[in-house]
Amino acid sequence: MSFLNILPKILPGTFLGWGLGANDASNIFGTAVANNIIKFYHAAILASIFVIVGSFLEGPKTFDTVGGLAAITKGDLAAITLGAAVSVAFFTYLKLPISTSQALVGSILGIGIIKGSDIDLKILLKIVLCWITTPLGAFIIGFILYAFIKWIFSKFNYGVLFYSIFIKVGILLAGIMGSYSLGANNVGNVTGIYAVHMKIANLPFGLSSDRFWALLGGISIAIGIMTYSKRVMETVGKKITNMLPMMALISVVAQSITVYIYTNVGVPVSTSQAIVGAVAGVGAVHGFSSVNFKSIGRIAIGWLMTPIAAGAVAIGTYFLFKLF
Amino acid sequence: MSFFSTGKIEKEVKELIHQHIDLVDQCLMDLNKMLVSACAKEGQCPEFTIRIHNNETAADKLRRVILQKIEKGAFLPNLRGELLKLIEIIDDVANRSETVGDYYVLYQPEFTDEEAKTLVEIGKMTKVAFDLLKEAYGSLFKNFKKTVEKCAEIELIEEQIDTIEWRIRKDIFKGEDLAMNILKKDYVLLLCDISDKIEDASDMLEIMVVRRKA
């Protein structure tokens, strides 16, 4: 299959990637950009580069999970990704929390159910378990990491200059790490199902089909970051400015570690839910009263609502495609 | 352009705040000279008052320059707001010094020799507290422990000034001229208010340190 033949079919996937980049980069560089610690275009360039690198090097690790969830055909791919992309765009417009991973899984299941395809319950269980353990894992990692950093900092004397340099360099490194993890983990949402169901041969530079799809997904996420993430970064960033800089930094690191762990488990997870868990974990070091249970409740609603809504939209898209 | 400010603007702001503190310090030094002059009944008070005015105006102008520099993105966001608050409080020390000078020149409260000496003593202690504040600010950038130590010393001096203030206010009302007593009491209150502001600034420094304990 040549690239020109597949181009029209993958447009919904790249649209999903664009939306993912526009939204999820805010979890990584939002605080830094909203507070002028780093300029937007510097953050966007860094995030784009490392999202592509992460996608290319480790993205294929999650492809099989997404692609193997249900027995779907090539013809369903556009309806699935468009269904997920529309759901993401719609929920984002309503300012409701949405996970691209959950939207995509909802879309795949929706189409799978309507067509009576086999659904791999083992993979589904693995995915659902990962969804639940993502904020939980981020909470634990955030808690341990922040408690450790607090202990280290209590052991020596320092001033504002050291503290500021530590935070600034830390935010830069955490941003790079977060971008890499985002690409490595979430590119599976964007082009994972294409990679499994549309193998491409004879690619230049000896590129494998999976690497091609990972690169394409990474680029589409990067385009979303470069073109439309500024507003989201500023909005999300300002919401958490009340946090101490060290807490914000550790939250991003904890989120990145969590998301990276799930890359190696082979399941794309929600970076937004990971950051909420991480923020709660870091906050819990100062006492559990500082944990925002409202946010956790919103995550729980997201777990339930997102796949259902995305599944419904995907079914609608599927029938719409059938008409034409 | 580098990804971050290279620290040049931070160094500049740090230096400008030092200059601002020096101008406020100059106001306090002139106020102390005025108190000594008033005590010795030398009649040079208006001269010192004018000098306080000039330094207070210069400190005000410098504060606005610092504000603009900080808003351009110097330091981390949380620190920006705290530094602005700190400068505002320190600037208030200059404002209060100006008010004390003006009050003396305009209303000329007549203190007894002993009272005048006590006022000179309060002035000196206030200056010591401010010197400690300068040290506390200087160490903020490299040594949090020293900042906290200096702030604790400021608190002790402020307590001592409070004790002296209470005593002198009590003594003032032993005089028979009620109008003069009230005039003198208000003057003492204004003078002692300066060390209160220095204590406020040291509290702000302590908050800044606590917030950076990881």
Residue A160, CA distances (Å) to A173, A175, B78, B178, B184 in order? 20, 22, 12, 51, 43
Q: Identify all chain B residues contacting A163, using CB atoms and an 8 Å cutoff.
A: 212
Convert the pLDDT of each residue in A139-171 to its tens digit: 999 999 999 999 999 888 899 888 888 988 898
Q: Cα B72 to chain center, whole Å?
A: 27
| Cβ–Cβ below 8 Å for B214 and A149 | yes
User: Which burial class, exposed, middle or buried, applies to B60 when counting CB atoms under 10 A from its CB (0-12, 13-18, 19+)?
Assistant: middle
| Domain boundaries, position B68 | 8-211
B57/A201: higher pLDDT: B57
Residue B3 has pLDDT above 60, yes or no: no
pLDDT of residue A286: 85
pLDDT, average across residues A130-147: 94
- The confidence band for B4, taking pLDDT boundaries of 50, 70 and 90, is very low
Domain count, chain B: 1
Average predicted confidence (pLDDT) for chain A? 87
A116/A219: higher pLDDT: A219
For A86-109, give the DSSP string. HHHHHHHHTT----HHHHHHHHHH
Q: Identify all chain B residues contacting A286, using CB atoms and an 8 Å cutoff.
A: none
| Domain boundaries, position A46 | 3-323
Q: What percent of chain A has pLDDT over 90?
A: 43
| Cβ–Cβ below 8 Å for A37 and B211 | no
CB-closest option in B4, B7, B140 to A38: B4
Residue A108 has pLDDT above 60, yes or no: yes
Q: Which residue of B has its CA nearest to A149?
A: B214
Residue A70 has pLDDT above 60, yes or no: yes
Report pTM.
0.82
pLDDT of residue A202: 79
Lowest mean pLDDT segment, chosen from A83-87, A201-205, A281-285: A201-205
Convert the pLDDT of each residue in A16-45 to its tens digit: 999 899 888 888 888 778 767 788 999 999
Examine residue B2 and state whether it is found in any structural domain, yes or no: no
CB-closest option in A161, A164, A246 to B214: A246
Q: Which of these, A302, A179, A294, lies nearest to A229 by C-alpha position?
A: A179
Average predicted confidence (pLDDT) for chain B? 91
For chain B, the residues whose C-beta falls within 8 A of a C-beta of chain A are 3-4, 7, 10, 73, 75-79, 139-145, 147, 208, 211-214
pLDDT of residue A90: 80
Is residue A218 within 8 A of residue A182, CB to CB? The reply is: no
A41 vs chain B: nearest CA distance in angstroms?
10
- What are residue A119's phi and psi, to 5 degrees? -110, 130
Residue B170 has pLDDT above 60, yes or no: yes
Residue type, B3: F
pLDDT, average across residues A116-140: 92
User: How far is A243 from A209, CA to CA, in rounded Å?
Assistant: 43
Residue A295 has pLDDT above 70, yes or no: no
pLDDT of residue A204: 82
Reading the block at residue A220, the tokens are 């589409």
Domain count, chain A: 1
Map residue A119 onto helix, strand or coil: strand
pLDDT of residue B77: 78
pLDDT of residue B1: 36
pLDDT of residue B74: 78
Q: What is the CATH number of the domain that holds B42?
A: 1.20.58.220
Reading the block at residue A248, the tokens are 């914000």
pLDDT, average across residues B125-140: 96
Examine residue B3 and state whether it is found in any structural domain, yes or no: no
CB-closest option in A152, A158, A245 to B76: A245
Convert the pLDDT of each residue in A218-244 to its tens digit: 999 999 999 988 877 777 666 655 677
Lowest mean pLDDT segment, chosen from A61-75, A142-156, A283-297: A283-297
Residue B2 has pLDDT above 50, yes or no: no
pLDDT of residue A297: 76
- The confidence band for B191, taking pLDDT boundaries of 50, 70 and 90, is very high
- The confidence band for A198, taking pLDDT boundaries of 50, 70 and 90, is confident
Q: Identify all chain B residues contacting A161, using CB atoms and an 8 Å cutoff.
A: 10, 141-142
Q: What percent of chain A has pLDDT over 70?
A: 93
